[in-house]
Amino acid sequence: MCGITCVLSKTEQNICSFLLDSLFLLQNRGYDSAGILGVSYNDTLYMKKFASTNKVDSLKKLKNKVCDIYFKSAIGHTRWATHGSKTDINSHPHKSMNDTFYIVHNGIIENYITIKTMLLEKNYTFASQTDSEVISNLIEYFFSMTKNVCSAVKEACQMLEGTYGLAIICRNTPDIIYVIRNGSPLIIAENESMVVATSESAGLVNHFNHYMNVEANTLICISKQGIDYENLEKIKLNKTDFELSSKPYDTWTLKEIMEQPDSLLRSINNGGRIFKNEIKLGGIEFLQPIIHEVTNIILIGCGTSYNACMCAKYYFQNYSGTDVSYFDGAEFTDSDIPFLGNSIILLCSQSGETKDLHRCINIARNCQVVTVGIINVIDSIIAREVDCGIYLNARREVAVASTKSFTSMLVVLLLLSLWISQKVGSKKIQYNVIIDGIRALSFQSKKILNTICFKDSVLNKLNKPSLFLLGKKKNGSHRKGRCIEDKRNGLYTCRGV
């Protein structure tokens, strides 16, 4: 998962500062590298890109190199390496062999080796190890025949197999940015001073009141006149004060750990999802007429969300009275759907765009199985395509290690299991005891965090080279999840037992 942003000024303002702020807010999508291709007001093109190292933050280095340049338009990228190692040359933007096209790409091109082989036979050269550079050369190849940018982009995209969100600048038409997507998210927004396309709403940096989702396989041209495509539906943007710093904490991970009392409270909608002792989940009215007929619940997640699914299996087994199974999204197939009975699939994702999870929606549709999204990011691809769903309300998570979204996901899955139990009446459960515990989570977590988080005696005991976490049954799921996050943070040689 990577982050892309493109900006074009409709006035004479310098968009460089906005672009850098946007990329900063997209770093949760990729820390490995950052880069931009900017067009100055005399149509000079400047490309700068850097990979992060243990001593160098790529975005800080990029800011130092370009902050004094006056750009009228630019495309930018934050990378999470999938093809090719973490180096400057593998960073985005990528340019075509003859420096005609410059692209930033979010996604994975599955047939890039086939296309690259074809282009090599036509004497095209490549500088990087990435699948993305193939796109820039492929567009240039078609442009050499058609001499039309739009036709070249469309023909190139027709050959691509996989996912992509693309922003493209052509040296021949520097006053236009071309954007297109398939499978990867891309939104676009416009006001009186600029037009922006970006991977998610955080990249809009609170400068806009509305945004529009770019439809799949729709090429949009952005210019000083605005957006050339008229049939885009405007969506009101719920503005959030996106923070540019982890202060007063040293790291985003620590900040988000300490935010859990608030995120846990939001996961129950400040109490609005529990009325007296009845669970109220407004996003899943779609399930109400069919929930009595459901015999199988399938939980699917990836990474930390998969561990949440493992833990939630016990909730649904104990409270919903249905058969429950869980799967990693990358391994799920239609043969995993029980042949007998009626099933629903719960798709659990913090980002709402996990590729391995997104493909499960088509599997479910082909088998006529209802899908329910348990998602954090509002209006994300999975959130838009499932039949119904519940938002975590954990708000933005910047750190690589998942903290508050994991605990919020557990709460939401617990609420859903109780909602099903109440609708079906399958088991005699002491709802008041469980619900009182849910209501107390925010207060209790705050109490614990304030008690132990910064005590030197605790920190000194944890200052060891290795960590073993013990747990069984549902606590075994917590054990595995914690190991993943500690490894991501590089804290320990960590093993769950």
Query: Is 2 marked active-site?
Result: yes
The CA-based dihedral angle spanning residues 345, 348, 354, 357, taken in that order and rounded to the nearest 10 degrees: -20
Cα(204)–Cα(188) distance, integer angstroms: 9
Return the closest-CA partner of residue 404 out of 485, 293, 287, 290.
485
Give the residue among 404, 383, 391, 335 at the shortest CA–CA distance from 363. 335
CA–CA separation, 218 vs 4, rounded Å? 17
Number of H helices, E strands in the chain: 14, 23
Instruction: Answer whether 28's CB lies under 8 Å from 398's CB.
Output: yes
Active-site residue, from 2, 16, 348, 360: 2
Pair of tokens at residue 391: 């938002």
CB contact at 8 A, 494 and 486: yes
Exposed/middle/buried for residue 236 (C-beta within 10 Å: 0-12, 13-18, 19+):
exposed
C-alpha closest to that of 34 among 187, 488, 21: 21
Catalytic residues: 2
